């Protein structure tokens, strides 16, 4: 875990559950493999994002390996409030991982929604929605062993074909002390099908804890519409923020100021070229022509990218 550990321990950590309040919709950056790392979290926080998640980290590897901890989890004083998302299938392993990050983060999230084959085969991710007692056990263990009362424990789920099973899962998680639940409104088999916002509404009406809606939110207007459709207390965005990190600030497309901010932040953080370049490809998707994309997307060095941005956009 790189960064100044002493500085991070001094950093006042807010209770993320306090973000959820009547009449307010919390704006959240989703956990994204390779993408929702410190530099990108720094960027979206400048443009109205209130809560950020790390990419999913396999808890067992994190606990076992110092190398995994150093490569998977980086934060700093301004990276706050922060939720660390873990893939886990054993209560004590999740507890051990939570204990390690507790001084540097505001909470953990248990991934119960990843539908990738490798995760399901290992007993992680979306297969956990079929094991509500195991989810309860993991949440209970963290609650019992982490003595910081403001440290949140949340879960992120997909829905069942039979929504009654999802409501049962959510009620059991609520009874065990989960802080909030993020609901991706698709089942395990669905990828690009329409999101079942009606299902999120039913879940919201069935529990008393905050519910976060996730799935196909690409603009601030989408976020507002989903809130009205579901009654959700927050919205979590993935691809919409990749395409426009300033969307929560109300921009319809990525402003040049945001591109400049990304360049500055990425260079300051020593972001690897591939990640630096891929973020720009996403951010510039809506503001570049096909011909421009053909040129920009094959650039192979930071200097070439900087020259292109300066020549074409004055960035």
Question: Which pLDDT score, from 0 to 100, does residue 45 have?
Answer: 98
182 and 276 together in one domain: no
**Binding-site residues from annotation for FMN:** 31-33, 85, 184, 238-239
The active-site residue, picked from 29, 95, 114, 127, is 114
Same-domain status, 61 and 133: yes
**Residues 91, 132: one domain?**
yes
Alpha helices of the chain — where are they, by DSSP H? 5-10, 38-45, 59-64, 66-72, 91-101, 117-121, 132-145, 163-175, 197-206, 220-230, 239-243, 256-269, 273-283, 290-296, 302-313
- First-to-last alpha carbon distance for the chain, in angstroms, is 32
Say yes or no: 104 and 227 in one domain: yes
Q: How many domains does the chain have?
A: 2
Look at residues 193, 222, 249 and tell me which one is the last residue of a structural domain.
249
pLDDT at residue 1 in the model: 60
Residue ending a domain, among 225, 249, 273, is: 249
Chain segment 12-42, per-residue pLDDT in tens: 567 899 999 999 999 999 999 999 999 999 9
pTM assigned to the model:
0.95
The domain that holds 8 is classified in CATH as 3.20.20.70
12/144 same-domain check = yes
191 and 289 in a single domain? The answer is no
Q: What is the pLDDT of residues 102-158, one digit of tens each?
A: 999 999 999 999 999 999 999 999 999 999 999 999 999 999 999 999 999 999 999
Q: How far is CA 306 from the centre of its chain?
A: 28
Domain check: are 129 and 114 in the same one? Answer: yes
- Residues of each annotated binding site: 31-33, 85, 184, 238-239
Q: Domain boundary at 196, 222, 249, which?
A: 249
Mark whether 198 and 124 lie in a shared domain: yes
Rounded to an integer, what distance in angstroms lies between the CA atom of residue 35 and that of residue 31? Answer: 8
Give pLDDT < 50 ranges for the chain.
3-11
- Tell me if residue 114 is catalytic: yes
Domain ranges, residue 218: 3-249
């Amino acid at each position: 875990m790189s960064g100044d550990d002493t500085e991070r321990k001094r950093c006042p950590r807010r209770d993320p559950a306090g973000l959820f309040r009547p009449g307010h919709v919390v704006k959240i950056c989703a956990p994204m493999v390779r993408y929702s790392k410190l530099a990108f979290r720094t960027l979206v926080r400048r443009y109205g994002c209130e809560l950020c998640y790390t990419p999913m980290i396999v808890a067992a590897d994190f606990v076992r390996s110092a190398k995994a901890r150093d490569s998977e989890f980086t934060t700093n004083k301004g990276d706050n409030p922060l939720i660390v998302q873990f893939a886990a299938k054993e209560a004590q392993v999740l507890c051990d991982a939570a204990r390690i990050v507790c001084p540097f983060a505001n909470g953990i999230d248990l991934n119960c929604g990843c539908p990738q084959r490798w995760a399901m085969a290992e007993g992680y991710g979306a297969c956990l929605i079929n094991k509500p007692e195991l989810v309860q056990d993991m949440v209970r263990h963290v609650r019992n062993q982490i003595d910081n009362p403001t440290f949140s424990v949340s879960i992120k789920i997909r829905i069942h074909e039979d929504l009654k099973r999802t409501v049962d899962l959510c009620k059991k998680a609520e009874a065990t002390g989960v802080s909030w639940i993020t609901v991706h409104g698709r089942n395990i088999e669905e990828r690009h099908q329409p999101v079942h916002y009606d299902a999120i509404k039913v879940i919201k009406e069935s529990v008393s804890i905050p519910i976060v809606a996730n799935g196909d939110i690409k603009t601030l207007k989408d976020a507002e519409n989903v809130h009205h459709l579901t009654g959700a207390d927050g919205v979590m965005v993935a691809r919409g923020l990749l395409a426009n990190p300033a969307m929560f600030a109300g921009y319809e497309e990525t402003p040049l100021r945001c591109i400049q901010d990304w360049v500055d932040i990425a260079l300051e953080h020593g972001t690897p070229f591939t990640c630096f370049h891929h973020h720009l490809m996403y951010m510039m998707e809506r503001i570049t022509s096909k011909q421009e994309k053909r040129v920009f997307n094959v650039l192979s060095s930071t200097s070439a990218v900087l020259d292109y941005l300066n020549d074409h956009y004055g960035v």
